[in-house]
Amino acid sequence: MENGTDSPAEGTEGVESQVRQIATRARDAARALAAADSDAKISALRAAATAIRGNAAPLLDANAKDLAYAREKGLTAAMTDRLLLDQGRIEAMAAGLEQVAELPDPVGDIMAEWERPNGLRIARVRVPLGVIGIIYESRPNVTADAGSLCLKAGNAAILRGGSESLHSSTVIADCLRDGLRQANLPVDAVQLVPTRDRAAVGAMLRMADLIDIIVPRGGKSLIERVMAESRIPVIAHLEGNCHIYVHEGADPAMARDVTLNAKMRRPGVCGAAESLLVDQAAANSQLPGIVDVLSEAGCEVRGDDRARAIDPRVVPATEQDWDTEYLDAIISVKIVDGLPDAIDHINRHGSHHTDSIVTRDQSAADTFLQRIDSSIVLHNASTQFADGGEFGMGAEIGISTGKLHARGPVGAEQLTSFKYVVRGDGQVRP
C-alpha cells in the first residue's frame, strides 16, 4: 500500500542510497551539534516555535492534503483524528518546542567525578548519543516532539513519519531546520525521510554504521517489525499490559478510584491498566464497588470463576485475557491468593511496563515494589502516571521497557550517553 511513487528514488536500491545520504549528512551534523553550546540550541528551538506559528497557513494546507490522502486510503476515524491539525494543535506544538528549549541541557553534565591515588582525575561526562532514527505513524506532531528532544540532547534526528502525514511533517521539519539555520547550527541535524516507500524503514534499520539508536513510536505491529529487523539498538516498549493489584489491606475508596482512573482516564494509552488482581481476602468486600464504577464508566469486566462467583456482572475471561493489552474499555479481573501469587502473576503475564499496588500495608507495598520486575512500580497511585511529563521530565519521546540504557519515560537526559574524561600530569601505568 505504501510504495507510492511520490519519492524521487526509484526502487529499493534508490531508497537505500537516498537513506544512506541522509544518514551520512546526519552523522556530520551530529558531530557539529555535539559541540554546540546550550544557548545556540535554545535559540534554534525558539526560532522553530516562531516558524511553526508563522507557517500555520501553509501547515494547514499541507494537512488538508494529508487528510485527503487519508480519506482516499480509507483510514479509520481514530487515525484521521490523530492526523488532524488545527490552530489549537499547532499552537500546542509551538509551545512544546518552547518548553523543550527551557529544559536543562543534559550535555556536558558531570555525572560523577573522583580522583585516584596516582593523581588522575576522572570525570563521567554526558555526551549526545549521535544519530537517532525515529520511526512513527500518523501523528505529525511527533515530528516536532521527537525532533526537538533529539536536538536538545545534541543528537541529529532522522525522522521517518507515517506516509499519511508526509505533507504536514515536511512543513514541521522545515520549521525545525529553519530554527537550526537561524541559530547557525547544521540544518541536517533534523531531516525527514522524504518518501512513502516502506523500504526506507528497512534501510534505516540496517544502517548501524551511521545510526546509533532507533526509536519506534506506534502500534504493536510497527514496534515488532522494528525490533525483529533492526541491527541497531532499539529503545521502545512493545506493549503496556499494566496491572492494579488490590491487596487485602487496601482502602476500598482508594482501590476503586485508582482502578477507575488507571483503566478509564484514557483506555488507549500504554499506561492504562489492563488487568486487576484482587486478594481473595478482600474480594467480597471490594470487588463489587470496583465493578460498579467500571460498569458505570462503560467498561467491560472479564474475570475468572472466583470473580464471577462474587459479582455476576463479570463475564468469563480466558487464559489469553491475562496476556492481552486491550487499549480499550475492557479489563480482566483475577482473584489471587495474596502477595506472592500477585507478584508471580504480574511478572509472568505483565509486559514489565507499569504496575501498581493499592494497600495500607507498608511492608506488603515494599515487597511488591522490590519484586515486580517492571520499569515503573507504584504504590497507591494510578498506572496512568507512566508519563515523562508526570515524572517532571518536561517531555518524552516514549516509554522504554528494555533493561539497557533508558528505562521508563525517555526524555532528553535519556537520549544521551557519556564518556570518561581523565586528566593527568604525565602519569604512566606501572
CA separation for the pair 223, 115 (Å, rounded): 44
Q: Kind and range of the H or E element at 216?
A: strand 213-217
Q: Does 71 bind a second copy (CB under 8 A)?
A: no
Q: How much is the CA Rg of the chain, to the nearest whole Å?
A: 24
Q: Kind and range of the H or E element at 316?
A: strand 315-316
Please give the angle made by the CA atoms of 116, 128 and 32, to the nearest 5 degrees.
115
Closest CA to 262 of 175, 383, 344: 383
Q: How far is the CB of 284 from a second copy (least distance, A)?
A: 22
Candidates 384, 388, 395, 396: give the one binding a second copy (CB under 8 A).
Answer: 384
Q: Does 327 bind a second copy (CB under 8 A)?
A: no
Q: How far is the CB of 258 from a second copy (least distance, A)?
A: 6
CB atoms within 10 A of CB 186: 19
Which residues on adjacent β-strands are paired with residue 367? none
Identity of the residue, 25 or 177, whose beta carbon is nearer to a second copy in the bound complex: 25
CA separation for the pair 131, 31 (Å, rounded): 9
One-letter identity of residue 296: E
| Conformational region of residue 184, where left means phi above 0, alpha means psi within -120 to 50, and beta covers everything else | left
CA separation for the pair 412, 416 (Å, rounded): 7
The string of DSSP codes covering 326-354 is --SSEEEEEEESSHHHHHHHHHHHS-SSE
Q: Which stretch binds a second copy (CB under 8 A): 1-9, 115-123, 214-222, 307-315?
A: 115-123
CB atoms within 10 A of CB 411: 24
Q: Does 381 bind a second copy (CB under 8 A)?
A: yes
Q: Which stretch binds a second copy (CB under 8 A): 10-18, 62-70, 288-296, 386-394?
A: 386-394
Q: How far is the CB of 128 from a second copy (least distance, A)?
A: 9
Identity of the residue, 51 or 262, whose beta carbon is nearer to a second copy in the bound complex: 262
Identity of the residue, 76 or 348, whose beta carbon is nearer to a second copy in the bound complex: 348
Q: Does 428 bind a second copy (CB under 8 A)?
A: yes
Q: Does 300 bind a second copy (CB under 8 A)?
A: no
Q: How far is the CB of 98 from a second copy (least distance, A)?
A: 20
Window 336 to 355, contacts with a second copy (CB under 8 A): 347
Kindly write out the interface string for residues 192-231 of this chain, putting x where it contacts a second copy by CB under 8 A and - elsewhere.
--------------------xx------------------
Q: Kind and range of the H or E element at 301?
A: strand 300-303
Candidates 371, 395, 398, 412: give the one binding a second copy (CB under 8 A).
Answer: 371
CB crowding 292-320: b at 16 or more within 10 Å, else e? ebbeeeebebbbbebbbebbeebeebeee
Kindly write out the interface string for residues 237-256 of this chain, putting x where it contacts a second copy by CB under 8 A and - elsewhere.
--------------x--x--
Q: Does 110 bind a second copy (CB under 8 A)?
A: no
Q: Which stretch binds a second copy (CB under 8 A): 167-175, 192-200, 289-297, 388-396?
A: 388-396
CA separation for the pair 218, 240 (Å, rounded): 13
Identity of the residue, 194 or 233, whose beta carbon is nearer to a second copy in the bound complex: 233
Q: Does 422 bind a second copy (CB under 8 A)?
A: yes
Candidates 34, 40, 60, 327: give the one binding a second copy (CB under 8 A).
Answer: 34
Grid cell of 205 as nine digits: 534499520
Q: Which stretch binds a second copy (CB under 8 A): 74-82, 84-92, 171-179, 412-420?
A: 412-420
Q: Residue 304: what are its φ and ψ, rounded to 5°? A: -85, 180
Q: Does 40 bind a second copy (CB under 8 A)?
A: no
Q: Does 312 bind a second copy (CB under 8 A)?
A: no
Q: Does 257 bind a second copy (CB under 8 A)?
A: yes
Grid cell of 350 as nine digits: 505483565
Note the residues at the interface with a second copy (CB under 8 A).
31, 34-35, 114, 116, 120, 122, 127, 129-130, 212-213, 233, 251, 254, 257-258, 260-262, 265, 347, 365, 369-371, 373-382, 384-385, 387, 390-392, 402-405, 407-408, 417-429
